[in-house]
């Protein structure tokens, strides 16, 4: 029987002020390494492997058993600049074309020089992943999709096909696809992470699991000013204890139930946190050269989300149970600067079904506000940030039946087909005319009529589409019946995923954490979603894992040579 305390206990890792000491010898260290990596997801694994390649000894610490959000992801790496798989599929690409496109998504959150370096390194980083055991392929799906079906591993994972985002490249006239999904049966995140996990162990990094870092140890300078980060205070569950085994089982249950039984997953997280608080024991691990923070974002920290982005709290959190901002808060505890903490990526995918973007997305007044064919995070951003989180997808009868057939016979994943079918068959609002539909959804009839008339004229070739939709995605809807699907945030049958993008401010050349005055904090580095990186402004699929490789390798290399 679960303790009543478990229900009230926070699942967020407690973080304390740093332990300031005059010299490292004042601490009773239980063990030591050149580099200590906090968080063993993709970014932490890449940092550990790279630090070992530079000759450093490494301890990699994880609150659970490793994997984090990476193992739960789709296993997509955004890569370009001329990868072998782009060439096999008949596309040409250059680092310059890749950077030209990504400037639309990065919006200056990192410097142009860092963005160009990311693009210059992209193909080589994909090859590096293959050297760690990951595999990729060139097979492509027939239609634009939020995630490719089994057997398809290269796809358009962003806005490359949207006219406003088109850049150079594309040997056959089309922009090149850059979403490289790791080859796997089923979703690819677990397979990709398994390769990185094995590579971490093969490289000789030593894991410290079921352990959370709650405090940094910092040297106090002769003048009393803060000095170098010396190591970490880690609280670990005792090996061989029955509570430790139960904690591991709860971690597996969280991964199993997070998608379909969120309440059960939350209960498991609470029980696991209660075990951590009751059974974990403290010790200190010395980091002779540097500490790398790579614990993911903070989407599972309700207080931080409420503080920085309360309007997104009705979304479905995307991340591992350890994405509670512990790395962010550890950095803040020693004066680290932060940026873009209010930037939450909200994913409103309306493809597949592939024909849904041919419909119209309208706000509560019946007005279009975004090109329907954009990547889901772009549509979600416009809806959540500028439309109060509310919108409707309007289809006619032809599009509705095409979409139903695609859901039933189009080879879609269950998580794609089932919500779409439920929306179209069970909860759609129906109206014979635009005015009748407007009455059903509470919109202004004149505005909804005007939106349809303008889109119909564009579909007939009489004018440009007001939202910039490409000609192949336009569809005239001159007559009813019309159907409106509620795609707002918080709709239980159609969850809208959210994840955090902001984090610690870094020296972009090394991944070293900066303080609020812009100075580098000695001995402290960060990578992945704990820090500001390539995806910290706008998200496209695969960009986070690609940045985990880029920033993780950068931090591990720099920490090892500090």
Which CATH number do you get for residue 325? 3.50.50.60
Whole-number pLDDT of residue 172? 44
Please tell me whether residues 377 and 471 are part of one structural domain: yes
Token pair, residue 545, equals 């894992």
Classify residue 240: in a domain, yes or no: yes
Whole-number pLDDT of residue 1? 38
Yes or no: say if 235 and 212 are a contact pair by the CB < 8 Å rule: yes
Residue of 407, 409, 426 whose CA lies nearest to 417: 407
Tell me the helix, strand and coil percentages in the chain, rounded to 5: 40, 20, 40
Classify residue 279: in a domain, yes or no: no
CATH number at residue 466: 3.90.700.10
CB neighbour burial string for 147-185, b if at least 16 within 10 angstroms, e if fewer: bbbeebbbbbbbbbbbeebbbebbeeeebbbbbbbbbbe
Classify residue 177: in a domain, yes or no: yes
Question: Is 118 buried (19+), middle (13-18) or exposed (0-12) by CB count in 10 A?
Answer: buried
CB neighbour burial string for 435-465, b if at least 16 within 10 angstroms, e if fewer: bebbeebebbbebbbbbbebbbbbbeeeeeb
Classify residue 272: in a domain, yes or no: no
φ, ψ of residue 381 in degrees (nearest 5): -60, -50
Question: Is 281 buried (19+), middle (13-18) or exposed (0-12) by CB count in 10 A?
Answer: exposed
Structural domain total, the chain: 3
Cis bond leading into 298, ω under 30°?
no
Token pair 């050297």 is found at: 131
CA distance 80 to 540: 14
Token pair, residue 39, equals 């968080």
Token pair, residue 12, equals 């967020």
Please tell me whether residues 131 and 105 are part of one structural domain: yes
Q: What is the mean pLDDT of each run of 10 residues along the chain (562 residues)?
A: 53 96 96 98 98 98 95 96 97 96 95 98 98 98 90 94 66 80 94 98 98 97 88 96 94 77 84 94 98 97 96 92 96 98 95 95 98 94 96 97 95 90 96 97 98 97 95 95 97 93 98 97 98 95 97 98 89
Yes or no: say if 193 and 201 are a contact pair by the CB < 8 Å rule: no
Token pair, residue 333, equals 């505890």
Token pair, residue 124, equals 């080589």
Please tell me whether residues 234 and 312 are part of one structural domain: yes
Please tell me whether residues 371 and 410 are part of one structural domain: yes
DSSP strand E in 294-343: where?
316-317, 338-339
Token pair 């506000």 is found at: 369
Helix (H, G, I), strand (E, B) or coil at 37: strand
Token pair, residue 179, equals 């979403």
Please tell me whether residues 111 and 245 are part of one structural domain: no
Please tell me whether residues 502 and 384 are part of one structural domain: no
Please tell me whether residues 238 and 302 are part of one structural domain: yes
Token pair 């007559």 is found at: 479
Please tell me whether residues 210 and 341 are part of one structural domain: yes
Classify residue 274: in a domain, yes or no: no
Yes or no: say if 468 and 163 are a contact pair by the CB < 8 Å rule: yes
Classify residue 16: in a domain, yes or no: yes
Angle at 326 between CA 382 and CA 270, to 5 degrees: 90
Please tell me whether residues 44 and 67 are part of one structural domain: yes
Classify residue 200: in a domain, yes or no: yes
Instruction: Give me the domain span that covers residue 150.
Output: 76-181
Token pair 């951590």 is found at: 276
Yes or no: say if 524 and 293 are a contact pair by the CB < 8 Å rule: yes
Helix (H, G, I), strand (E, B) or coil at 330: helix
Asked whether the whole model's pTM tops 0.85, one would answer yes
Mark which of 132, 151, 181 sits at the end of a domain. 181
Instruction: Assign residue 36 a region (left: φ > 0; alpha: ψ between -120 and 50; beta: otherwise).
Output: beta
Q: At what angle do helices 434-441 and 445-459 cross, to 10 degrees?
A: 130
Classify residue 273: in a domain, yes or no: no
Whole-number pLDDT of residue 173? 60
Longest dimension (CA), the chain: 80
Looking at residue 354, the DSSP 8-state letter turns out to be T
Please tell me whether residues 64 and 160 are part of one structural domain: no
CA distance 110 to 503: 12
Yes or no: say if 50 and 294 are a contact pair by the CB < 8 Å rule: no
Q: Which residues contact 59 (CB under 8 A, 6 or more apart)?
A: 31, 33, 35, 36, 37, 205, 206, 207, 208, 285, 287
Mark which of 147, 181, 215 sits at the end of a domain. 181
Please tell me whether residues 435 and 520 are part of one structural domain: no
Q: At what angle do helices 242-257 and 262-279 cross, to 10 degrees?
A: 160
CA distance 466 to 368: 9
Please tell me whether residues 68 and 213 are part of one structural domain: yes
Token pair, residue 156, equals 């358009």
Mark which of 149, 181, 213 sits at the end of a domain. 181
Whole-number pLDDT of residue 260? 64
């Amino acid at each position: 029987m679960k303790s009543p305390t478990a229900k009230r206990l926070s699942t967020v890792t407690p973080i304390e002020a740093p332990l300031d000491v005059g010299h490292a010898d004042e601490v009773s260290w239980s063990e030591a390494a050149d580099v200590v990596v906090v968080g063993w997801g993709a970014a932490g694994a890449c940092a550990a492997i790279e630090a070992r390649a530079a000759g450093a000894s490494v301890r990699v610490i994880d609150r659970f058993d490793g994997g984090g959000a990476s193992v739960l992801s789709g296993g997509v790496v955004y890569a370009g600049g001329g990868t072998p798989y782009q060439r096999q599929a008949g596309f040409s690409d250059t680092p310059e074309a890749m950077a030209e496109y990504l400037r639309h998504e990065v919006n200056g959150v990192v410097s142009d020089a860092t963005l160009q370096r990311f693009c210059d390194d992209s193909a080589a980083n994909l090859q590096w992943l293959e050297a760690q055991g990951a595999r990729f392929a060139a097979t492509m799906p027939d239609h634009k999709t939020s995630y490719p079906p089994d057997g398809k591993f290269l796809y358009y994972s962003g806005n490359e096909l949207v006219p406003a985002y088109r850049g150079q490249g594309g040997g056959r006239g089309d922009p090149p696809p850059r979403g490289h999904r790791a080859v796997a049966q089923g979703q690819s995140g677990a397979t990709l992470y398994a390769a990185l996990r094995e590579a971490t162990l093969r490289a000789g990094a030593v894991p410290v699991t079921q352990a959370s870092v709650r405090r940094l140890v910092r040297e106090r300078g002769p003048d009393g000013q803060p000095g170098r980060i010396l190591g970490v205070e880690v609280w670990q569950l005792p090996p061989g204890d029955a509570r430790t085994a139960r904690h591991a089982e709860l971690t597996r249950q969280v991964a199993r139930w997070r998608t379909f039984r969120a309440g059960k997953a939350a209960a498991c997280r609470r029980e696991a946190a209660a075990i951590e608080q009751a059974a974990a024991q403290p010790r200190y691990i010395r980091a002779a050269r540097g500490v790398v923070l790579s614990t993911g974002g903070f989407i599972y920290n309700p207080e931080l989300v409420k503080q920085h982005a309360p309007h997104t709290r009705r979304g479905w959190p995307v991340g591992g149970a350890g994405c509670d901002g512990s790395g962010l808060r550890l950095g803040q505890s020693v004066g680290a600067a932060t940026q873009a903490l209010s930037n939450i990526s909200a994913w409103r995918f309306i493809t597949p079904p592939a024909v849904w973007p041919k419909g119209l997305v309208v706000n509560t007044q019946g007005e279009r506000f975004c090109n329907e064919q954009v990547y889901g995070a772009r549509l979600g951003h416009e809806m959540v940030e500028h439309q109060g989180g509310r919108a409707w997808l309007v289809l006619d009868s032809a599009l509705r039946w095409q979409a139903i057939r695609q859901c039933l016979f189009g080879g879609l994943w269950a998580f794609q087909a089932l919500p779409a079918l439920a929306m179209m068959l069970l909860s759609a609002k129906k109206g014979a005319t635009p005015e009748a539909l407007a009455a059903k959804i509470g919109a202004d009839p004149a505005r909804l009529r005007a939106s349809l008339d303008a889109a119909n004229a564009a579909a007939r070739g009489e004018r440009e589409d007001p939202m910039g939709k490409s000609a192949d995605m336009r569809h005239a809807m001159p007559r009813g019946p019309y159907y409106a699907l509620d795609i707002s945030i918080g709709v239980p049958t159609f969850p809208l995923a959210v994840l955090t993008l902001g984090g610690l401010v870094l020296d972009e050349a090394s991944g070293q954490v900066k303080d609020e005055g812009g100075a580098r904090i000695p001995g402290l580095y960060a990578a992945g979603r704990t820090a500001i990186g390539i995806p910290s402004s706008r998200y496209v699929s695969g960009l986070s894992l690609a940045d985990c490789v880029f920033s993780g390798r950068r931090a591990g290399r720099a920490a090892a040579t500090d």
